[in-house]
Chain A
Amino acid sequence: MNGAGRPRPQGGIDLLAWIFMRVSGVVLLFMVLVHLAIMHIINNIEVINYHFVAERYATPFWRTYDVVMLWLAFIHGLNGVRVMIDDYVSSRGWRVLSLASLYVLGFVFLVLGSLVVLTFNPAHPF
């Protein structure tokens, strides 16, 4: 059957959000386990210092790894809060306010985090 003459279905964002939550959840499970293993089991707090991070970030692999993990985890969490606001904040004013502050804060922290990881330069310590 073709969809000719029928209104386009709405609410595609919720479908995408639903898939994203599942995919990011599975990917994060493995990424976070690897992250925990390297930072807390294989290496301990005495080994991890500025030099350790600089060495790690000399390769693009770990930078990419950390940025991907940051984005996935952050958007996964943001979407979780968005869904809770959707469920429990029914008054329009509070809803707009809470969603707006969520998106603004989310954007700021996401940009800040990405800047730190991507612009880190061991040759120019702060």
Chain B
Amino acid sequence: MQVTLKIRRFNSEKDSEPWWGEYKFEAEPTDRLLDALNHVKWYLDGTLTYRRSCAHGVCGSDAMLINGHNGLACKLLLKNLGNKITVEPMRGLRVVKDLLVDMESFFDKYKAIKPYLITESPEPEQERLQSIEDREKFDDTTKCILCGACTTSCPSFWANSEYLGPAAIVNAHRFIFDSRDEGKEERLAVLNAAEGVWRCRTIFNCVEACPRGINVTRAIGEVKKALLFRRP
């Protein structure tokens, strides 16, 4: 099939304004969008810049705005995107070059919710055991690959870049609802602060954007409920 890729280009060292690059070429309908981007970079314009690593929807490097929706370029087939495909960098983060955005602030927020096991009680002789039911409580939020698709689709985040954002809250949820973890209070305190979970306006863009199918808004709702019913 004949495809036209319309890519929003910007080089923060050279350009004062972003511009649109159009690339027409022949591709297989079963090619992924990432294959098409590779085609542009390898054969048409080597200056095109984007992140990719595993190319199989696991590393979370190639999240971008595709035809107006956030998604992973390696998980979308050209036949499902149409002949004319618009590709832009994710919104709300500083563009370094073309589709590559500065993710530093995104990961700072991830670190702020302490994404590691916190324990105070003495170490058991063997593993910390967990029932199947207890594991089920945070199963959905373990699927996050930190691609940033949810946070950069969130209007609350666009309006206020200090907001922790859905991705950080999802990863907090993963530990708050883990029966082995004892750092719940510390994390809830971070999420209860002014730039925390209350900035969520239940818009559901994050749910639509998540390439892993995580019910992000539900997880945020569960964190809100945990704050509401917590005993100090």
Contacts and interface: CB of A to CB of B under 8 A. Distances in A.
A8 B120 CA distance: 19
A90 B160 contact: yes
A109 B65 CA distance: 45
A124 interface: no
A28 B44 CA distance: 61
Contacts, number: 48
A52 B160 CA distance: 49
Contact of B232 (A3, A17, A86): A3
B202 to A, nearest CB: 10
Interface string B96-135: 0000000000000000000000001000000000000000
B194 A15 contact: no
Contacts of A8: 232
B198 A18 contact: yes
Interface residues of B, number: 21
A3 to B, nearest CB: 6
B159 interface: yes
Contacts of A88: 159-160
Contacts of A9: 188-189, 192-193, 232
A28 B205 CA distance: 28
Contact of B185 (A6, A11, A15): A6
B-side interface mostly: helix
Most buried by A among B193, B198, B228: B198
Interface of A: 1, 3, 6-12, 14-15, 17-19, 83, 86-88, 90
B228 A15 contact: yes
Interface in B51-91: none
Interface of B: 120, 156, 159-160, 182, 184-186, 188-189, 192-194, 196, 198-199, 201, 224, 227-228, 232
Interchain residue pairs A-B with the least CB separation, the first 7: A14-B198, A9-B189, A87-B159, A11-B193, A9-B192, A11-B192, A11-B194
Contact of A87 (B120, B160, B192, B232): B160
19 contacts: A6-B186, A6-B189, A9-B189, A9-B193, A9-B232, A10-B189, A11-B193, A11-B194, A11-B198, A14-B192, A14-B194, A14-B196, A14-B198, A15-B228, A18-B198, A18-B224, A19-B228, A87-B199, A88-B159
A15 B189 contact: no
